[in-house]
Chain A
Amino acid sequence: MARAATTTDPFNAVAEPRRRQILDVLAGGERSVNDLVARLGLMQPVVSKHLRVLREVGLVDVREAGRQRIYRVNGRSLKPIHDWVRRYEDAWNERFDRLDTVLEDLKREEVGDGSEDA
């Protein structure tokens, strides 16, 4: 399947494990670059490079606070990715809801005839 360049496609941008790590940290709240560097244990230029890509595809927003640049996740831009996976997740939920019923029957079988809560 052909994909657009990383710099224009959020799907591609999140394919990079370190960028996903950055998004995971930012999911917990906005962070400065230094904060991200400390939490991820990566070199500052590496973090800055990934942040630039994430900004270009609109996955993160940045604001200035004094001399600091504070980054946060742009939830709206993650929505297409979330939607894409959610349909697949729905299919598993439908399966597992039926598995729940099977398990209830197996539990009853195991208890045998002494089922007080039948």
Chain B
Amino acid sequence: MEARTHSGKATVTLPSDTQILISRGFDAPKHLVYRACTEPELVKRWWSGLRGEVTIAEIDLRVGGRWRYVMTANEGFEVAFHGTYREIVPDERIVSTELFEGAPGATEDDATVNTVTLTEVDGRTTLTTLVECPSREIRDAIIDSGMEGGMQEAFDRLEEVARSLA
């Protein structure tokens, strides 16, 4: 296992039927967290987590500008997300829409509105993302997508165990 610096742990809560709130502290000032969230070459380095690699990150950082990220998942398939910036306060706040392009029959009306807020205290930054969904069904589907990823990892581990027993 590669050594990593963990400066905190994310917490996810569900403030209402149609909302998801994600919060995490980082050991860095907010202008650097802002850069890591808004510069394509930096976004590419972290946004996919352990699920794959970001192959395309396009960011037109202005109100009305679009963003689009494409990730090649470890299993080989591509997933893409895009949205539009609605509000930008440098180093503090970004409001944008987000739509998963692979959702069957998804239209722009199914996009979530994500508000990213950065708060710095003593050189440490708390990043919170409020995801506001058009319906509870979409909110639930987004959380289920985490379940699918988790299931995949569980299956991978199961396969490893099975191989070691062979």
Contact = CB atoms under 8 A, between A and B. Distances in A.
Interface of A: 1, 15, 17, 84-104, 106-107, 110
A16 to B, nearest CB: 9
A104 B8 CA distance: 14
Given A92-B12, A92-B24, A102 B45 contact: yes
Determine the main DSSP class of B at the interface with A.
mixed
Nearest to B154: A87
B121 interface: no
B46 A85 contact: no
A93 B150 CA distance: 12
30 contacts: A1-B141, A17-B16, A84-B143, A85-B143, A86-B150, A87-B147, A87-B149, A87-B150, A88-B12, A88-B146, A89-B11, A89-B12, A91-B145, A92-B12, A92-B24, A93-B9, A94-B50, A96-B46, A97-B49, A98-B49, A98-B50, A99-B26, A99-B36, A101-B4, A101-B5, A102-B36, A103-B27, A103-B33, A107-B28, A107-B32
B51 A91 contact: yes
Contact of B10 (A1, A15, A93, A98): A93
